[in-house]
Amino acid sequence: MHPNIEPIIPAGANPKSTFSPAVRAGDFIYVSGMTAMDETRQIVGAGDIAAQARFIYSKIAKVLEAAGADLGHVVETVDYVTTFEGYEETAAVRREVFGSGPFPTATGVKVSELVRPAALIEIRAVAYVGEQK
């Protein structure tokens, strides 16, 4: 890995994969796509896309906290969804997470399936932690 790129691994995390939960590259933190899988490897909120999104954002918040940031630093999210049924409910979750705005950019992508079969949504994020105005 490039010497100016730092992996971010939250306390208690034990990644057994070939990727980091996040990396800091300069003024940006890139958070890997996450599903609503808990520490027992079960999907939280099976069948409920909003519950899964809420749980994922809590996981993203923990990763950002390990990097000295928070959800207020997020500038972009990408949602990978297996269905658009109930997807509008994730907008309500975004309002819970990001308040009244300004909101980060967002992209929604429909996919045929995710790695975790019970997962309805996977979210990845980018946060900016450079100079503040």
pLDDT tens sequence for the chain (133 residues): 666 778 787 776 666 667 888 999 999 999 999 999 998 989 999 899 999 999 999 999 999 999 999 999 999 999 999 988 888 899 999 999 999 889 999 999 999 999 888 999 999 999 999 876 4
- Give the pair of three-digit tokens for residue 34: 């996450």
End-to-end Cα spacing for the chain: 31
Nearest to 74 by CA among 104, 108, 33: 104
Give me the domains of the chain, ranges plus CATH numbers: 32-128 (3.30.1330.40)
Whole-model pTM?
0.91
Question: CA distances (Å), 58 to each of 18, 104, 114, 120, 133, in order?
Answer: 22, 16, 20, 16, 27
